[in-house]
Amino acid sequence: MSRCVFAHARAVLPGGTLDDALVVVDDGRITDVAPAVPGAVPAGAIDLGGALLLPGLIDTHSDALEKEQRPRPTVEFEPGFAVLSFEGRVRAAGVTTMHHAVSYQTNADKDRTIERSLALATAVRERAAAGVGLVDHRLLHRLDARDADALDALKGALARQPHTTGVPPLVSYEDHTPGQGQYRNLEAYRAIVQRQEHLSAEDADRIIRRRIDERADSLPQRTRTLAHLGQEARSGRIRLLAHDVESAEELAGVRAAGAAVAEFPTTREAARAAQDAGMPVVAGAPNVLRGGSHSGNVGAEALIAEGLVDNLSSDYMPTTLLAAVLRLAERGVVPLHTAVALITSGAARTAGLADRGALVPGLRADLVVVSTEGGRSTVRMSLLAEESRDADGAPVSVARLLKSAGR
């Protein structure tokens, strides 16, 4: 049996914070969380010196791998290299379970193609299957509800990703046409179009009117897409996330169709309806740090203050997860343990993962050590459960490296 003991930590637990804690890990599982009683700390324990000890962060939605592969419009790296490169960034941000969002759509404005997304999904699956990653690599399949080719591509991708662990793949369906959902605020959408495409207000208005007119042509495909996803969700073959829900009426419709999660609701009404229905609500950590939505929708902090958010995802910048929850705690919006739950146990609930997300005996020992200096946080160490197990061929353990250094 492999054992690792962390002492003198400020451990963030489900119900509060335990100062001067002792956390014991055996073979990749947490086996004890208790006060560090003087004289009872094992000689080989790793002294964390009062640093925060958190469960490993769980990111349920990150588009950042796309930018890792194509950091500039004319620069593209091989997908496998992009996954490896991004893996290091993710680990440094304290994320131990990453759901890479791959988008099945053709969108020139966002530099997305179905072929590129399929290649990224393959690279993520290959890295996960190798069993040597620095994080637990998973996929979030994002589907443009109005694109028939995207639906066909998704079907093929899911056929190559059987959920043998009992956790169905995550699928988030979205409709980003203007005038509804994320872009219900047309004034904010006009500003986005002007900035992205360097247009006058008049030219931006013409583009928006054309996109709204074209929306009717793709409505039948949207109906077919939701019918198929609903059937898959009700059968348990996927876990369906409803993206950018804007009203209680729409929430009721997607719930009836089989959606289990409300991802980025654009109004307080939609978030409240999701909570009343027992559906986890996901908001964006960048929204918290920036002080509001870049699309003019409801602010995440206001929803969190009302208890209407279960999970913060990084959306497009993994380092925002930890920074956002610490800011929420510092500003007194919610207590520290409640804030941390948004990126740990709450995220686990969103993803349907019952084996992680809290410093509780029996759960995976995905751990993160964080120090704070001058109001800023630094991830000092991350530990994946597999790294604390004694097994032939296992990755070099962070715990063993620490012990070999005599700490």
Contact 25, 398 (CB under 8 A): no
Q: How confident is the model at residue 363 (pLDDT cuts 50, 70, 90)?
A: very high
pLDDT of residue 176: 54
pLDDT of residue 207: 65
150 Cβ contact partners less than 8 Å away, ≥ 6 residues apart = 104, 105, 106, 114, 143, 144
Residue 315 has pLDDT above 90, yes or no: yes
pLDDT of residue 186: 56
Q: How far are the Cα atoms of 104, 147, 166, 239 from residue 220, in angstroms, in the given order?
A: 18, 10, 33, 23
pLDDT of residue 44: 86
pLDDT in tens, 28-67: 999 999 999 888 898 889 999 999 999 999 999 999 999 9
The percent of residues above 70 in pLDDT, for the chain, comes to: 83
Which of 19 and 250 is assigned the larger pLDDT? 19
Residue 185 has pLDDT above 60, yes or no: no
pLDDT of residue 192: 61
DSSP state, residue 112 = B
d(CA 174, CA 246) in angstroms, rounded, equals 12
Residue 406 has pLDDT above 50, yes or no: no
The percent of residues above 90 in pLDDT, for the chain, comes to: 62
pLDDT of residue 407: 39
pLDDT of residue 204: 63
3-class secondary structure, 398: helix
End-to-end CA distance of the chain: 20
With tokens 């009872």, the residue in question is: 40
Most confident of the following: 48-57, 101-110, 170-179: 48-57
Mean predicted confidence (pLDDT) in 193-217: 65
**Complete domains list, the chain, with CATH:** 3-54+362-404 (2.30.40.10), 57-186+220-351 (3.20.20.140)
pLDDT of residue 380: 95
pLDDT in tens, 272-289: 999 999 999 999 999 999
Mean predicted confidence (pLDDT) in 61-81: 94
256: its two tokens: 């009836």
274: its two tokens: 């999701």
pLDDT in tens, 132-165: 899 999 999 998 887 788 889 999 888 877 666 7
Residue 390 has pLDDT above 80, yes or no: no
Mean predicted confidence (pLDDT) in 209-223: 65
Average pLDDT, the chain: 87
pLDDT of residue 75: 93
